[in-house]
Amino acid sequence: MPETGPDYLQIERLLTDDERSIRNLVAEFVAAEVAPSIGRHWQEGTFPMALVAQMGELGIFGPTLPQEYGGAGISDVAYGLIMQELERGDSGLRSFASVQSALSMYAIWRFGSEAQRRRWLPKMAKGQAIGCFGLTEPDAGSDPGAMTTRAQRDGGGWVLNGVKRWITNGTLADVAVVWAREEGGAILGFLVERGTEGFSAEDVHTKASMRASHTSDLMLDTVRLSDDARLPEAKGLGAPLACLTQARFGIACGVVGAAMDCFNEALAYTGQRIAFGHPIAGTQLVQEHLVDMLSRLTAAQLTALQLGRLKEAGELRYAQVSLAKRNNTRAALEVARIGRELLGGNGITTEYRAIRHMANLETVDTYEGTYEIHTLIVGRDLTGLDAFRAPGAAERN
């Protein structure tokens, strides 16, 4: 059985048997199939596509959805543990699963028609169809309500024009969930299939972070769609934001895995690395670093578990998810930075894992709402005062 800890506070005891066995299954998959080659993929800037079918077989995609749509109805805590184990491997792997499950499948399940659900969800659950989620634009990231992608009515259908940027899985996707504002109206969601005339995708090739993941621009140039392609229940910015809440939950859990991997690597390394005639783990300063890493990741682990339990009880509010996404991601990033430091010169190479996790976590700290944006979401929740926009700025959602 591969390492699933550290578990300094015996959090394991708070999990059900089902949750433990789902976590162990994914941990074994990651140790056997991901760990041996992910460093090479990261170095080469490729995503291990061969693993997608296996992930589908394991039930990693959309696992909390009902069985009739290809899901398994597993608990939210079990879902969080899947994300943890995937991100122990690499944030790119967890990103692939987040976008597939929490953004694309969730959008279709929550806002789609019955026909859209039946058409896409079972195939997506098996990894036989890939989804992406196009919200961000070159000039609208933190403020998605400022999007300029437009949906114009065209007889009984629609014409879409615009550009989406930084879209995970954009070039891999069979179906893109695209958010566009109706001329003079609300934000609407559309399913745009690969091969639709006027629709194209192109990867970003200059990333120094999240390298084992495809990140793309989506171009929509007079894309004509029937009204069947619109997500009928999605009206207004609240629809994409509800999908983000699902994905942010998975991130708050996932980053714990990256932090754990960095801690385990640093503990093993410092126990063996000799300087001044003894293992560096025997020095007070190194022990302080190790304890700092453990403290941060243990707090993140407990936060993730409680978030899952609140979600299962139907009591989770989106500002609570923001607090957890903000704190856990920043904690994991700090753990990775300390881990990198403890490895000395070796720590700057991808022969070890810390710098890969550290570079990936820079993206995770930014996407799905930056650290600052989550600060302002929680700040608004606490005070009732909106500190996002310039005073007097127009409402647009």
- Note the residues at the interface with ligand FAD (CB under 6 A): 99, 133-136, 141-142, 166-168, 210, 215, 363, 366-368, 370, 372-373, 388
- Write out the two tokens for 294: 């453990």
What does the alpha-carbon distance between residue 371 and residue 108 come to, in Å, rounded to a whole number? 28
| Segment 126 to 145, residues that bind ligand TGC, using CB under 6 A | 133, 135-136, 142-145
Per CB under 6 A, the list member of 22, 176, 201, 244 interacting with ligand TGC is: 244
For residue 273, what is the enclosing H or E element? none
The option from ligand TGC, ligand FAD, none interacting with 377 (CB < 5 to 8 A, set by class) reads: ligand TGC
Rounded to the nearest 10 degrees, the angle between the axes of helix 238-272 and helix 76-89 is 50
201 binds, among ligand TGC, ligand FAD, none (CB under 5 to 8 A by kind): none
* Active-site hit among 19, 137, 334, 368: 368
- Residues 358-387, interacting with ligand TGC (CB under 6 A): 367-369, 373, 377
Of all residues in the shown chain, the one whose CB is closest to ligand FAD is 141
Q: Say if CB 177 and CB 103 are below 8 A apart.
A: yes
> Cα–Cα–Cα angle for 255, 258, 259, nearest 5°?
90
Backbone angles phi, psi at 29, to 5 degrees: -60, -45
Return the one option of ligand TGC, ligand FAD, none that residue 372 interacts with (CB less than 5 to 8 A, by type).
Answer: ligand FAD
**What angle, 0 to 180 degrees and rounded to 10, lies between the N-to-C axes of helices 284-312 and 238-272?**
150
Site for ligand TGC in 162-181 (CB under 6 A): 168
What is the residue type of 313?
A
| Binding footprint of ligand TGC, residue count (CB under 6 A) | 27
What is the closest distance, in whole angstroms, from the C-beta atom of residue 326 to ligand FAD in the complex? 11
Shortest approach of ligand TGC to residue 206 CB, angstroms? 17
Name which position in 242, 267, 302, 310 contacts ligand TGC (CB under 6 A): 242
Is 315 assigned a catalytic role? Answer: no
Q: Which two tokens stand for residue 219?
A: 């171009």
> How do strand 187-193 and strand 175-182 relate by DSSP bridges?
antiparallel
Nearer to ligand TGC, 56 or 369 (CB): 369
To 5 degrees, how large is the angle CA 306–CA 311–CA 314?
130
Hey, which residues are catalytic here?
368
